[in-house]
Amino acid sequence: MNFDLGGDLPAFVQYAAGQDRQPAPRQERAEDTPVWVSFSNEDIKGLGDAFYFKDQDAVFKNRNASVFLAKTSELGLLNGLMHAKYHKCAGFFTHSTPDSAKDDLQPPPVSASLAYTIDKKDQVEAMLKLAEEKGLTGTINSLSAFKNRYYTSVTGVDSSKWLQNRWKELAGGREDISVAAFKHSNWAQESVILTVQGASEPQKIIVLGGHMDSIARGGDNSVAPGADDNASGIAALTEAIRVLAASGYRPAKTLKFMAYAAEEVGLRGSQDIAATFKREGRQVDGVIQFDMTNYNGSAEDVFLITDHTNASQNAFLANLVRTYTDYKLGETRCGYACSDHASWTKNGFPASFPFEAKFSEDNPNIHSAKDTIAQSGGHSKHALKFAKLAIAYLVEMAK
């Protein structure tokens, strides 16, 4: 590479290589053109004081990489530093626009070892035995007792607080489990995130989610029990959390259970969260969405939504169903970004969405005062299948 040298290259290089005490001062040139350079944060750490950009000078930064505004004449200097320390030719990337530099802050690709294997049979089967319908019915009844769970209403906020407390109770005294609100700047209802810290690969994240809000004509003042849409999805997640805690199971990767606010008004809560995870460069190895699980409207039990989802992970889910259950499988399409899985897909993460029925045979009472558990027979037998699928998914994904 042939760069114009903007600083005292030999002095910097000696310093970076650990052969000298003081780095040479940075020099500037009048004719310089701006250039954006991105480095991995690990490389920056290793360079120590020889790296003359300071953290606060970063134009963008996430947990993997940082972007700095440099001058063309400095590239030779940077190249020399990186070569002396890491024996890499360059080892950083240059960009002529900040947008192209920003692209370097994308989440890393999913880990190469993500092979979608099924080999935790004893663990899964032991946990499946603990899953109970009564837990699901309890959650559906508690959530649908709020007049509505609309994203701007008082009861919408109260229901989020209720769920935070319920999940905290289930976490018990475990130090590796925490519950936090994810606050959104434009509305009052908070999303809820329960995290089970991974025991050996905590930076790898598996997300199990569903929306907590409900909607019906009338907004803030509506009667919107949302028993199926989507107290039933939150119930499946809550039962999986209960079983996880009761069994003493500890995942290798980090599990995040998410109850999203404001789905019914344009997937707003999940978009906020997925975009934040992308911006922060987090490694999300898999996402599963539970939205409507308790209305048994079709001959088959579990339908995999094929659009706005990840085909490889869907195939893995189908294998989980065949391995651990006798549920009949179907496939169906929404035809549009119908739920929060689409927020993750849009941000580059592999997402799946197992659904209660064929799209055309789903619960006809949603988004009205009639979306009660009575419309699902007053029980949670169908939702229990999804709680079990959540358990099989989390154990086989978080290993």
Looking up tokens 């606050």 gives: 183
With binding defined as CB under 6 A, does residue 334 bind ligand BES? Answer: yes
With binding defined as CB under 5 A, does residue 365 bind Zn ion? Answer: no
With binding defined as CB under 6 A, does residue 25 bind ligand BES? Answer: no
Q: Using CB positions, name the residue nearest to Zn ion.
A: 229
With binding defined as CB under 5 A, does residue 356 bind Zn ion? Answer: no
Evaluated on CA atoms 49, 52, 56, 79, the torsion sign reads negative
With binding defined as CB under 5 A, does residue 213 bind Zn ion? Answer: no
Nearer to ligand BES, 23 or 226 (CB): 226
- Torsions phi, psi for 94 (to 5 deg): -110, 145
With binding defined as CB under 6 A, does residue 212 bind ligand BES? Answer: no
With binding defined as CB under 6 A, does residue 304 bind ligand BES? Answer: no
Asked if 101 contacts 95 with a C-beta cutoff of 8 angstroms, the reply is: yes
Q: Which residues are catalytic?
A: 211, 229, 263-264, 291, 367
Chain CA centroid to CA 174, Å: 22
Residue 261: partners with Cβ closer than 8 Å, 6 or more residues away: 151, 156, 160, 182, 184, 187, 189, 190, 191, 211, 212, 213, 268, 269
Query: Minimum distance from CB of 390 to Zn ion (Å)?
Result: 17
With binding defined as CB under 6 A, does residue 263 bind ligand BES? Answer: yes
Total of residues contacting ligand BES (CB under 6 A): 14
Is the bond leading into 230 cis (omega within 30 degrees of zero)?
yes
With binding defined as CB under 6 A, does residue 340 bind ligand BES? Answer: no
How many C-alpha atoms does 205 have within 13 Å on its Cβ side? 26
Query: Minimum distance from CB of 226 to Zn ion (Å)?
Result: 8
Query: Minimum distance from CB of 110 to ligand BES (Å)?
Result: 26
Asked if 306 contacts 332 with a C-beta cutoff of 8 angstroms, the reply is: yes
- Torsions phi, psi for 195 (to 5 deg): -110, 130
CA distance 306 to 35: 42
Among positions 272-291, residues that touch Zn ion (CB under 5 A) are 291
With binding defined as CB under 5 A, does residue 230 bind Zn ion? Answer: yes
With binding defined as CB under 6 A, does residue 259 bind ligand BES? Answer: no
Among the listed ranges 41-49, 59-67, 173-181, 336-344, the one in contact with ligand BES (CB under 6 A) is: 336-344
Query: Minimum distance from CB of 374 to ligand BES (Å)?
Result: 19
Residue 99 one-letter amino acid: D
Looking up tokens 């959650």 gives: 139
With binding defined as CB under 5 A, does residue 371 bind Zn ion? Answer: no
With binding defined as CB under 6 A, does residue 267 bind ligand BES? Answer: yes
With binding defined as CB under 5 A, does residue 229 bind Zn ion? Answer: yes
Nearer to ligand BES, 164 or 363 (CB): 363
396: partner contacted, choices Zn ion, ligand BES, none (Cβ within 5-8 A by kind): none
Nearer to Zn ion, 13 or 366 (CB): 366
Nearer to ligand BES, 135 or 354 (CB): 354
338: partner contacted, choices Zn ion, ligand BES, none (Cβ within 5-8 A by kind): ligand BES
Total of residues contacting Zn ion (CB under 5 A): 3
How many C-alpha atoms does 229 have within 13 Å on its Cβ side? 22
Which tokens belong to 374? 């009575």
CA distance 243 to 249: 9
Residue 113: partners with Cβ closer than 8 Å, 6 or more residues away: none
Nearer to Zn ion, 239 or 291 (CB): 291
Residue 367: partners with Cβ closer than 8 Å, 6 or more residues away: 215, 216, 217, 224, 229, 264
Q: How many CB atoms lie within 10 A of CB 242?
A: 22
Nearer to Zn ion, 63 or 346 (CB): 346
CA distance 207 to 303: 19
Binding site for Zn ion (CB under 5 A): 229-230, 291
Binding site for ligand BES (CB under 6 A): 229-230, 263-264, 266-267, 291-292, 334, 337-339, 359, 362
